[in-house]
Structure 1
Amino acid sequence: MEQQIFRDLLEQNKLSCSFAFNEVNQANAALKLNANTSSVGFMYRHVAETMLMFGYFFGMPSDVANTTMGQPDTGQGADVEGTKTLLDKGFAMLEQLIENTPAGGWNESIDTPFFGTVSKAKLFAHVLYHNSYHAGQIGLTLKRG
């Protein structure tokens, strides 16, 4: 039952975010809401990289390089297809995490530099929130663009 709940949460996140993520393309990747915000491509890349980097805390390290977290937008989101590949890899990593977490394992404590010690479930929820947050920013930018 626990695994199914997490599967459902992930599937809903993928669906909700897809309405914005599926609209990102080479033609709109450089759009910005205003001069002080990051581009659509940068935010898209940031979601993909961050999801994979959070895998480290779940015991699933990735070789993805951090080019966006805490960094200014200098065109890192120009390769939309490469970012889509990373995004798919991130969602696959979360699916693997769900399948490999035993019953009761979501209560396991994880030490993070951002949030201190949190449960695996809480960190998973943050990853989904982070995806949704930036999907909303991307959607707003695309609508305005």
Structure 2
Amino acid sequence: MQNEILAQVLEQNRMDCSHFCKNITAENADYRLTDQTASVGFIYRHIGETTHLIAQFFGYKTEIEGTTIGQLDSGKQYDLETSRKYFEEGYNTLKKMVTETSDKEWLEEIETTWFGKIQRIKLFSILLFHNSHHCGQISSAIVKGRK
């Protein structure tokens, strides 16, 4: 039952984020809310990279590097198809993780370089909140932002 609940929560998060991210285009990828905030394209890449890198703490391998984590947006252009791929593959990995993780394992602590020792369920929730937060930023930047 617990995994079914987590699968539903994950699917809702994916649907909500996908709703905003589907509106990202080459024309608006440079949009920012202010000069100091990150661009739509940077944030989109950041979501995909972070999802993959956090999945590593759960034991899932990735070849993706964290080029946006802890970095300021320098204006670099990110390939949107690659970002979409990272986003989709990341959520597919999370879906697999929910299916493969037992109820007992969710409460076990795992070691992370970013958060120290933390329960799997807490790390999972941090990631979902992280993605929701950034998808909200993307939505705002697309609607109200500028180049």
Distance (Å, rounded) in 1 between the aligned partners of 2:64 and 2:41 = 17
Correspondence list, 1:1-145, <5 A:
1-145=1-145
Q: Which runs of 5+ in 1 are unaligned?
A: none
4+ aligned runs moved over 3 Å, structure 1 = none
Query: SS of 1:56's equivalent?
Result: helix
Q: Does 1 or 2 have the higher relative contact order (CA < 8 Å, sep 6+)?
A: 2
Q: Deviations 1:85-114 (Å, cap 9, x if unpaired)?
A: 010010011011011112321111111232
Q: Say if 1:77 and 1:83 are closer, same or farther in 2 by CA, change over 3 A.
A: farther
Provide the rounded CA distance (Å) in 2 between the counterparts of 1:129 and 1:78: 23
How many residue pairs match? The answer is 145
TM-score (normalizing by structure 1)? 0.94
Structure 1 Cα separation of the partners of residues 125 and 76 of structure 2: 26
Q: CA separation in 2, counterparts of 1:113 and 1:89?
A: 22
Q: TM-score, normalised by structure 2?
A: 0.93
Shift of residue 23 of structure 1?
A: 0.8
> Secondary structure of 2:118's match?
strand
In structure 1, give the amino acid aligned to 2:104.
G
Judge conservation of contact 1:67–1:76 (CA < 8 Å) in 2: no
**CA RMSD across the alignment:** 1.2
Whole-angstrom distance in 2 between the partners of 1:13 and 1:49? 17
Structure 2 unaligned regions, length at least 5? none
Q: CA offsets, 1:19-52, max 9 Å, x none?
A: 2111111111011111111110000000000000
> Alignment partner of 1:55: what SS?
helix
